[in-house]
Amino acid sequence: RRFLSEDHRKAIDDAVHKYPLVLFMKGTLDQPQCGFSRAVCQILDVQGVPQEKIKSFNVLQDEDLRNGIKEYSEWPTIPQLYVDGEFVGGCDIVLSMHQNGELEELLAKHGLVPPLPEPVKE
């Protein structure tokens, strides 16, 4: 069953392409309403992403968005992170990328955190 109308698809598409970092989550950045959303917020904080660079949408306030975002991304769970219009993943992928350094590289590449220091050459 389809949940996503063309209007909702366009609204989501516009949002993920308008803002450099978009987080669809349960709750807000200051008050996440589930452990997975809280974990992604904490990871972004540890990575040094300023809150003003994060555009978040509380899917608990909009049932159409809550169901529609899953169809839009073809990803079954929330939270969902987008960087520069591209779907990054949910909590498990964001955590894995954080642990292996890929998230920091991605965030730096898109100007969401300061650039990584150049390796020291001996």
Residues placed in the known binding site for [2Fe-2S] cluster: 34
Annotated binding site: 34
In 3-state terms, what secondary structure has residue 96?
A: helix
Picking from 39, 2, 47, 1, the residue whose alpha carbon sits closest to that of residue 21 is 47
User: What does each C-alpha distance from 112 to 12, 14, 32, 65 come to in angstroms?
Assistant: 21, 19, 21, 25
Q: Is the peptide bond before 117 cis (omega within 30 degrees of 0)?
A: no
CA distance 108 to 17: 18
